[in-house]
Structure 1
Amino acid sequence: MSRTPRVTPAIRATGLRKDFTVKRKAGRLRRTTHTVAAVAGVDLTVGQGETVGYIGPNGAGKSTTLKMMTGVLTPSGGELSVCGVEPVPRRKQLARRIGVVFGQRSQLWWDLPLRESFRMLRYVYAVPEAEHAERLAACRELLDLDAFLDTPVRQLSLGQRMRGEITAALLHGPRVLFLDEPTIGLDVVSKQALRGFLADLGAGGDVTIMLTTHDLADIERLCPRLVVVDHGRVVHDGTLAELHARHGSQRRVVVDLDTPYDELPHVPGAKVDRVEDDGHRVVFALDGVPAGGLIARLAQQGGLRDVAVLEPDIEEVVARLYARGA
């Protein structure tokens, strides 16, 4: 009888904790010592090839979690493995299996042309020349690097440097890519280009992507799975649709009418949310019903000039979730 081979998760955390000791004033001369749990028992399993958005308010423990996963910080408790190894004791081995792009840290040499930084990284990670050339060629094409490959890193724009950082993180063929705010500060065109590249990378299924961001458009575009943390604990782990369903988000249908609103047909699951423009615009809130039924009934009645369907606002539901945790 054949068995399906067991695949080791890219990331597995069980009861993961990180405590910090802080001192606080308790008078003019005295100080007391307190233990603060930055990460308070996170259970998380990420399969190979998944793209996961890892979000939370400031101070929720996102960066601390990523620093433990990349071997920068030692956990205070629990179990953690990344790419099948324990990060801190086997940090050098782990470094060859992961790529990291953190906003406060650069892998590029500031005064060297971008091309030379990439060449230096080949020797740092001992990547065979043919593999390095193949990966660099792919990134040059997909991220449009050729125009500034010979420009010193210090002269690059923020968008150009971020494209360089992501290329640097991928040249040694990592199995897991950790991204911390990859689109922060970028203009609209650069954001779209970077999101498109990361979406294609994630769709390939060869690289596991762990993304932290405050730009929720990144989550909508890139992450089939969303993990929300608050006060060091996971408060949601699932799809974006499940998050909306759990917290009562509603789709809305905006209807523009030829004549002012008087009486519209009743459709179960659809209710009038508000009336605008002297009755010429009506906004309906949908409670889990398709928009098509409502639109069809309105079209039958006549006088329908325009219709728009608005998806739930992710920022609104995440803000409610944060507020509830606070």
Structure 2
Amino acid sequence: MRSYLDFEKPVAELEAKVEELRTLSTGDGVAIAEEVQRLEAKAAEALTQLYSNLTPWQKTLVARHPSRPHFSDFAKGLFDEFTPLAGDRKFGEDEAIIGGFARFKGEAVCVIGHEKGSNTEARLRHNFGMARPEGYRKAVRLMELAERFQVPVIALVDTAGAYPGIGAEERGQAEAIARSTDACLGLSVPNVAVIIGEGGSGGAIALATANSVLMLEHAIYSVISPEGAASILWRDTAKAQDAATNMKITAQDLMRFGVVDTIVREPAGGAHRDAPTAIAATSEAIETALAGLKDLDGPALRKARREKFLAIGRTL
């Protein structure tokens, strides 16, 4: 059964009527095919219009939709022969970040990404995509392997932020994030990052410091969650909608500021309505991004990456 967000109520009502009419048609053979088609067209039009004018807060809700495709879905749709590697060789395994090696369009690549989980059991196992230090140290280990074997790195970012627990802080969360960010900057191979859902704080930056940063149309990317910002600025989480608007967290705003390089179009109604189409569009965007980097050598890649991030926020 499809899950609707609060602002999708008009579409939900139309689609409910369609399902009701289909049930009647199946049950007693009433000839209502034309009415069903009319309502389907009306629902599709309402959905397209609704998603063409989403507010930043509504995009936040879409980015967090429980049915939105996660790392595991993208991994299955984007890569062949994906072989995950576990552990940071220092403390243990962190399933909030999954990584390994695979083939993308026939070429060997290193894949790293946050996994939120698609059901209660998986969300607990993956800690809702909020990585601990060992997750970022595993990412560094994988990037070092990618460097050794000279294969590109593809990162899929989807996290509310790094895990803020006491144990994570005791094991050096900030240091682990900094070293992962540094590892991204130091790569002599192309790296491409895709914000597929939430890109939250340093937990996202640790994997998203890439030559090319792509972002799905209804994803969000920010230094802090809207609720967190509202709590700090106004001491009132109810102002999260105002915070989302003022923080400029949408793909469209970030593209204008030069924080992301490409916006990947989502199907009407968001990626959660048609995951295969969203994944296919992401595949094309990654292929294009890698093609633009393939002729650069190590020093040129590092220089371009460094200059890209130093240029963010500069004004003439």
Normalised-by-shorter TM-score class? under 0.3
TM-score by length of 2: 0.27
Which of structures 1 and 2 has the larger relative contact order (alpha carbons within 8 angstroms, sep 6+)? 1
TM-score by length of 1: 0.26
Higher helix proportion: 2
Q: Which has the larger radius of gyration?
A: 1
